[in-house]
Structure 1
């Protein structure tokens, strides 16, 4: 039974011959068949492709070929990432009219070059404009820890699939928090890399100046090995920065001695639930963090991020809004229409705030190496829930679950979401925020929290 084995343990077993890639994939496909009707994580399962790939890996190992650090590891991707032979849905009805993708996205190819095996495409919020994981066309992805609750979005299927043990690794996208929110709700480790670090070529955009792709997994080590496999410059993505790969896997167990870590106060504590604050304080105590800092102008940053998101997203979808308005999720459509009405002067001002906020944050990282903050203000809400209490007020749920993630992705900082248990039995995440290009720092801290016993991915009982 490999459902709960870490990706690194699967790869070691396959490489050493104690496991076969074919048996690992057979087990994953059987579990998907059994549990996907419960979780609604997958929109397409690629059984034939996965079985053929597994057989090829087993044959290569038998012939003495080194299989790679992800040998035999099943993975799946959010359905806005191109998969050869599948239509790239981006969670929408409209995209179903598009032809199938002619080739895999580069990140898929890079993972498979290291031995991983693609098993399917995953459910998501329409056009990635969602924090709930509730898709109007394919139904909601469900939280494996309580299937009446949200998986989070927009990478809801990614969170549900990894959290439910269907696959040990998945790819998602994060514009304003769409990796970190599902990671928090589903009890997973999730990495939003530095903007420009991992190529987005072969993916359907939402807000190009904010979009990131990254992995979700059940351990910091799994996150690191997947991230290392995907590193590398790609001229096909104009945002991808031409800089050498900086492998982090070997740095995970070097500890946090010498790192200056602070806990975020002010804005990041004002609206948080008891569970979110307890998790933050638990993480800080385990890491020996005593300093609390106030990040500058966070309210302004979030407002500016909203303006840029809705205006840029609306510009991308303007023709579809004009010609096929009734084929959108009504909530997504109405938010995009509102974005189309944002005046240009507001967007210009938002970009000025963005530049100033980035400069302020970079100055802050002259004094600290990482900042801890809540990933979400609460544990996973119920599916269908429309509002929740934030800072003493009842507010709309969909736009406000990302209250703590949005000001960070706004300036492209690398973040690892780290899962902690709560007294309710549901997980919640803490963000480890680092300076640009310092994914190694965030992953080292995530690993240190695992080693201290405070961070872990909970195993749900889906088959009780």
Structure 2
């Protein structure tokens, strides 16, 4: 298998090939850069390439392997190309966060912690990826960089705000990417682009070295084409960082070794109520397929999911607006119009509303804890429908006419609000040509459970993340 073919395999397979001398990190880096050059004019996932850095990093790995360095040979992501959403700090690049305003700022002096940890695991950074401005959106229709297009249908959105991260994996440009999830920005593009995405527990991974959106809701996490690769990337990034006050001082708990446990001993339920009523036919079919594969599952309810979503909106509006107030006052014309208007609305929210939203958030978190004492894992749709066309303003869900952009996240936001770990996993066959994802949800710190379920059902063929056939 040559490097071009190997690039389209799982990251675990790539690392093993480099470890055994059947491929080199340099050849895989060149294969990734070549595929990006050939496909990104259509997909528009990348905003920056770090080709010089990538070649130097790959060459250094190859040299250490030739020298017989066993520590290098043991690296879990040895020679695997990866890329990051352009809100991660990358030394030498300006951290854009999808904006025009940050473009004139200085380059980052150092990599963010998660970039450092991916590199330390042997991965090779090849570039930065497109996103919604300041992570405020669900479509990555970025007016500054142009829209990222869904690799499975270039007329459709990739989802957001981490649309470039999902699209790059779906297009086979890299096997792993990093993104962020505040209200669904990993799970929505994972669902629409047909890849796996992991939103860890709130506070699990450090967020310093990334551009914030909503400090009390922001999560960082990986995308991949397999649950095993998600586990490898997540395990590589675990660990406390005292520079992020929101990062919990918790011991590293590897998940890759637990994948083989499969479904044994897990009590699983399907979320009904809001998560059924707000899901379209394809989304319901995806959940039903998962439930059937698991032998039929009971339906359970998360009380006040609609209000949890509303709380997430209020908190996001308020905190996001506060962060950007200086630029809203002095450079309003340089924001995307939709982002600017949402931030301005957030700046006008009464403090009492924000306080009540935080109270609701706490109440729903307590109800979720009670529910997750009865079952170990919850299944729910990730998006209400498959990817809409670029430029879509309105969608219809079960007879309701809803604004398209915010409504893509209506099933993800109630879970974001309470910080639970979630794996988004792709299902095919519920729509003639497009994927749609389900959320696999567990109690805080139980990323092992969501990844076990995702891996087991991928082994059964229920979940699948094929590389898109770009025309």
TM over 0.5: yes
Distance 2:344 2:162 in 1: 23
Distance 2:254 2:201 in 1: 14
**1:129 alignment partner, one of 116, 130, 136:** 136
Name the residue aligned to 1:412.
419
Q: How big is the shift at 1:188?
A: 0.4
Name the residue aligned to 1:30.
34
Q: How big is the shift at 1:440?
A: 0.1
Question: Aligned residues, how many?
Answer: 463
Name the residue aligned to 2:99.
92
439 and 289 in structure 1: CA distance in 2 versus 1, 3 angstrom threshold: farther
Contact residue 261 and residue 289 of structure 1 kept, 8 A:
no
Distance 1:391 1:208 in 2: 34
Secondary structure of residue in 2 paired with 1:319: helix
**1:62 alignment partner, one of 52, 66, 81:** 66
Secondary structure of residue in 2 paired with 1:373: strand
Secondary structure of residue in 2 paired with 1:306: helix
Q: How big is the shift at 1:170?
A: 0.2
> Structure 1: which 5+ residue stretches go unaligned?
none
- Asked whether 1:429 is paired with 2:415, we answer no
Distance 2:357 2:454 in 1: 32
Q: How big is the shift at 1:271?
A: 2.1
Secondary structure of residue in 1 paired with 2:6: coil
Poorly superposed stretches of 4+, deviation over 6 Å: none
Distance 1:231 1:284 in 2: 31
Name the residue aligned to 1:367.
374
Name the residue aligned to 2:8.
4
- Asked whether 1:79 is paired with 2:83, we answer no
Secondary structure of residue in 1 paired with 2:191: helix
Distance 1:460 1:47 in 2: 24
- Asked whether 1:446 is paired with 2:450, we answer no
Secondary structure of residue in 1 paired with 2:373: coil
Contact residue 197 and residue 221 of structure 2 kept, 8 A:
yes
**1:382 alignment partner, one of 362, 378, 389:** 389
343 and 391 in structure 1: CA distance in 2 versus 1, 3 angstrom threshold: farther
1:253-268 equivalences in 2 (<5 Å): 253-268=260-275
Contact residue 271 and residue 392 of structure 1 kept, 8 A:
no
Contact residue 262 and residue 289 of structure 1 kept, 8 A:
no
**1:398 alignment partner, one of 391, 394, 405:** 405
> Structure 2: which 5+ residue stretches go unaligned?
none
Deviations 1:90-146 (A, max 9, x none): 000000121000000010110111100000000000000000011010000010000
Distance 2:135 2:431 in 1: 31
- Asked whether 1:220 is paired with 2:254, we answer no
Name the residue aligned to 1:294.
301
Name the residue aligned to 1:202.
209
- Asked whether 1:352 is paired with 2:359, we answer yes
Contact residue 376 and residue 402 of structure 1 kept, 8 A:
yes
Contact residue 310 and residue 338 of structure 1 kept, 8 A:
yes
Q: How big is the shift at 1:423?
A: 3.3
Distance 1:265 1:400 in 2: 18
Distance 1:40 1:329 in 2: 18
Distance 2:297 2:386 in 1: 25
Distance 1:290 1:78 in 2: 36
Distance 1:368 1:290 in 2: 11
Deviations 1:433-462 (A, max 9, x none): 000000000000001111111101023211
**1:19 alignment partner, one of 14, 18, 23:** 23
Q: How big is the shift at 1:305?
A: 1.0
Distance 1:289 1:173 in 2: 33
Distance 1:239 1:289 in 2: 38
**1:48 alignment partner, one of 45, 49, 52:** 52
Name the residue aligned to 1:455.
463
Q: How big is the shift at 1:4?
A: 1.3
- Asked whether 1:104 is paired with 2:111, we answer yes
| TM-score using structure 2 length | 0.97
Name the residue aligned to 1:275.
282
- Asked whether 1:149 is paired with 2:156, we answer yes
